[in-house]
A and B are shown apart, each in its own frame.
Chain A
Amino acid sequence: MSDPQAILEQVTQIIRDLFDEYDGPVTMETTADDVAQWDSLSHVRLMVMIEMELGVHFSTSEMQGFKNLGDLVNAAAKQKG
């Protein structure tokens, strides 16, 4: 399994680009509620950006089921093997 910490760093970069007004911490526990710009529309954009950047593929039910960034990072790490 790929290193979740390295994936979190890549994801953090994407989050900083997409949610340019957010300057709080990005951790495994971060959720959409923590970031004002993170609504359902930008959630889908974030997922697709992460898919493109990391070369992974999430099903729509996975995208809806992530409880926090940790869930997402672990799912990506598992796929990357």
Chain B
Amino acid sequence: MIFTDPLFLFVFLPIVLITFYTISHFAGKNAALIVLFVSSIIFYIPHSWFSVALLIIALIVNFVIALAITFMDDEDKRRKRLYLAGQAYNFLSLCYFKYKIVSLLFGPSGGVLVDIAGIAIPAGISFYTFHQAAFLADAYGREKNVLQFLGKLSSPKAMVSAFCRYGAFVSFFPQLIIGPITYLSEFNPQIQSKRFLRLNPIDLAVGLTFIAIGMFKKVVIADNLAPTVDVVFSAANVGAEIHPVQAWIGALAYMGQLYFDFSGYSDMALGLARMFGLRYPINFFSPFKANGIIDYYRRWHMTLTRVIARFLYTPLSVAGTRYAMFNRLAPIPAHLLSLWIPMLVNFQIIGIWHGALWTFVVFGLMHGFWFALETEVRASKWYRNFSKDKNRLFIGFLERAVFFLPLLLSLAMFRSESVAGGFHLFSQMFGTSFDAPSAFNMRYPVMMLGIAFSIIYLCPNSVELMRRYRPAIMTYDNKSYGPAFLRRLWRPGWVQAAYMSVLVLAALYYVSRQPPFLYQGF
């Protein structure tokens, strides 16, 4: 199911909410978490039975290994082996099913293996794999929440309960398919709290508001930018001549579409979870208002950034820095080992995490080089001296002016159907095909772009709007940018209800079209 499906919103969600609060009232926390687990599996069934089976096997493997390594002694050599085996299972199954490694290696003669790998990519596999890999790492590192979360395992019944709790943690439907990728240290304290399970009207109000905002972003803005994006990128892929203005509109429209699609989804995820009294980590905090690529990644898909930085970039950078400093390397090789190589690997993984396409590889290279370069520039004496006595407003505008174009181009490459198509689009944006035939009527897309970018640069983001009610767990501490006088606060009341009704009515008007969420494909 997807969140904008009326069957989900008007049938599934109310039934699960009523069952959850009723069961929790009569049968307590464990039963309520079983309701979340079972309903999440039901939510997942329409994606395919095979995906359900794969998810349940992954849950069992990770749960059993987490259990074993939690109760083994640190001195036991099998503990590390078992942990590595668990992570190998997670990442090999991700590579196998997502990247079709078997079909690539063995071609069509691989028999049964190719048949299994050839099926559609199981929905959400990139997200729940990272989610469970982080959990397993926490169990291995003896994170204090793990023991409390597993509880006393004195009987088979307690064991089943603990498994269902784990199932609810990983597969809870608001975050199963597209994240946010959550840590146990964020989930466990909430379910241990006395306030969990208490039906609180403000949770429902905040949750519904997030759902209204998210639906509007996805269905009204992102989906209305989509047709323009499709026309321009298909034309670029076949090498057609495109009028420069239309090429720019296409690239800008995709920037808007990607943001409103994914952040709309993330708002809905926060809202859905909040209706069950749970807060999740924030994934977006006005990324396009960022002052550079470093700031951007603290605001864009933050839960992916932090999990990859934790498990990949930081260990690589620490190892590189240790090597460079112990061996007293010269500054250039030292920087290569401690920054450039870890950064390029980090962004290559972020790129191909989205799928096995060359466009993602090029995107990863662009962002890797850019991030490392910006880190060097910002750390340089020259830049610090340059920015020291300048007006903050001037520096802010300058940084954003430098930031915008590479971001636009790299996101266009990300969307392109081929690398050649991406470069062709760039050539048309900066080209002179002023006599190319018009590919679409520009009035409507330009109006949608005007709305989208006004919201992006002028409006508070949904978390700022709702900040009186602690709407999300802050993944990074980010500054609020944008005009302060427009940074309104949401309070339950008739005025806000009227605004939200407009958003919902507009979304319902468009909802019948139902294109899928972009990030569902990753």
Q: Does B384 contact A (CB under 8 A)?
A: yes
Q: How far is the CA of A52 from the CA of B328 in the complex (A)?
A: 12
Which positions in A face B, CB cutoff 8 Å? 21, 36-37, 39-42, 44-45, 47-49, 51-52, 60-61, 63-64
28 pairs of residues in contact across A and B, judged by CB atoms under 8 Å: A21-B384, A37-B379, A37-B384, A39-B379, A40-B375, A41-B317, A41-B338, A41-B339, A41-B375, A41-B379, A44-B314, A44-B317, A44-B321, A44-B338, A45-B321, A45-B325, A45-B338, A48-B318, A48-B321, A48-B325, A49-B325, A60-B310, A60-B314, A60-B318, A61-B141, A61-B310, A64-B310, A64-B314
Q: Does B315 contact A (CB under 8 A)?
A: yes
Q: Does B386 contact A (CB under 8 A)?
A: no
List A contacts of B339 (CB < 8 A): 41
Q: How far is the CA of A66 from the CA of B64 in the complex (A)?
A: 31
Kindly report which residue of chain B lies nearest to residue A61, judged by CB atoms.
B141
Kindly report which residue of chain A lies nearest to residue B311, judged by CB atoms.
A60
List A contacts of B378 (CB < 8 A): 39
Interface residues of B in 113-135 (CB under 8 A from A): none
List B contacts of A60 (CB < 8 A): 310, 314-315, 318
Q: Does B382 contact A (CB under 8 A)?
A: no
Pairwise interchain contact A47-B375, C-beta atoms closer than 8 A: no
Pairwise interchain contact A47-B141, C-beta atoms closer than 8 A: no
CB distance from B48 to the nearest CB of A (A): 36
Q: How far is the CA of A48 from the CA of B315 in the complex (A)?
A: 12
List B contacts of A37 (CB < 8 A): 379, 384
Q: How far is the CA of A44 from the CA of B309 in the complex (A)?
A: 13
Q: Does B10 contact A (CB under 8 A)?
A: no
Pairwise interchain contact B318-A47, C-beta atoms closer than 8 A: yes
CB distance from B228 to the nearest CB of A (A): 38
Kindly report which residue of chain A lies nearest to residue B320, judged by CB atoms.
A44
Interface residues of B in 310-354 (CB under 8 A from A): 310, 314-315, 317-318, 321-322, 325-326, 338-339
Give 3 nearest A-B pairs by CB, closest first: A48-B321, A44-B321, A60-B315
Apart from A45-B321, A60-B310, what 10 extra A-B contacts exist at CB < 8 Å? A21-B384, A37-B384, A41-B317, A41-B375, A42-B379, A44-B314, A49-B325, A51-B322, A60-B314, A63-B318
